[in-house]
Amino acid sequence: MSIHKPVLLKEVIELLNLKKGSVVVDATLGGGGHSREILRKIGDGGILIAIDADKEAIEGFELKVKSEKFPPKADQPLAEKVEGNIFLINDNFANLGAILKETGIEKVDAILADLGWSSDQMGDAHRGMSFLSEAELDMRLDQRQELTARKIVNEYKQEELERVIKNYGEERWAKRIVQKISEYRKNKKIETTKELVGIIQSAIPKKFWGKIHPATRTFQAIRIEVNQELKNLEKFIPQAISALSPGGRLAIISFHSLEDRIVKNIYRANARGRVRTDEITGQTIVETAPEIRIVTKKPVISGEEELENNPRARSAKLRVAEKTKKQ
């Protein structure tokens, strides 16, 4: 099993501006690397609300904090204190508002969302997330939901499947790939990752395979559709901004252009506020004050040292916003 390495850990902790006693949401717990460092930073008086749609991620983190020997911190025996100040929530971050209401916490000081998949999730063969291992086509983060990759590739209409692969995978060969899928499934259902990879490879001429695996974009697109990743992100960000205390910060790490565009655009919209010009006086009237201040004018990316130790950090972009103090 690969060891999960939290991306941009140092930068996240610094930019979230955490203090002893802070109330923090890790909206996408995953392997728990960010959460463990957050716990060290906020101390005994702080509260961590750790959310993940993946039940195994929640259970795995609970086991880690009970049994694992963390790097020694003389003033913070982490393994002893965690159970007293942490909420573990098996839910989707798109339901952040309802989750906080259920915990009885109205406002928080910091929120983190790492939109990448943990190494544990990608390497878990039974999920069928990766084109590198043979598995049943599943790709669900939340095993309770009905929609699977198998259902998408076998039951979506051609135009619908082409839309998914073209829009979410930004795949130039989407039409040919869907044609090949359609031909294949007339005779047999597509059951495994290996079958799907073979179909994709047959659709793209070898000379156009390039540096990345030819199945990369299609698998990305199907994962996004299965887990409704972009729609959930669009739901999550306004709720996160609303949940922050004045001066509180929201940090989001994205891994591809579609996610980053959503984050950037929603940040910008909430940082502008709404104004209008009075028709008689010509004066500018502020109807809605800006809700946030954008802390990172450009996305923060990984340095050379991190990239050497964790190549998957290459596509990571961190954007941070701060809740305005006057509403």
**What domains can you pick out in the chain, each with its CATH number?**
9-121+229-323 (3.40.50.150), 126-226 (1.10.150.170)
What is the gyration radius of the CA atoms in the chain, in angstroms? Answer: 22
pTM for the full predicted model: 0.87
For residue 127, the SS3 value is: helix
Tell me what the pLDDT averaged over the chain comes to. 88
Report the alpha-carbon distance of residue 284 to residue 112 in Å, rounded.
35
Confidence category of residue 247, pLDDT binned at 50, 70, 90:
very high
- Residue 208 in this model has a pLDDT that exceeds 90: yes
Where does the chain have alpha helices with state H?
Answer: 9-15, 33-42, 55-67, 78-81, 96-103, 119-123, 149-155, 158-169, 174-185, 193-203, 216-227, 229-243, 257-272, 304-309
Which of 124-128, 156-160, 211-215, 260-264 is the least confident region?
A: 124-128
Residue 2 is predicted with a pLDDT of 44
The phi, psi pair for 105, rounded to 5°, reads -105, 120
pLDDT in tens, 108-161: 999 999 999 776 666 566 677 788 888 999 999 999 999 999 999 999 999 999
pLDDT in tens, 219-232: 999 999 999 999 99
Which of 110-124, 168-182, 289-303 is the least confident region?
A: 110-124
Which has the closest alpha carbon to 61: 123, 118, 126, 127?
A: 118
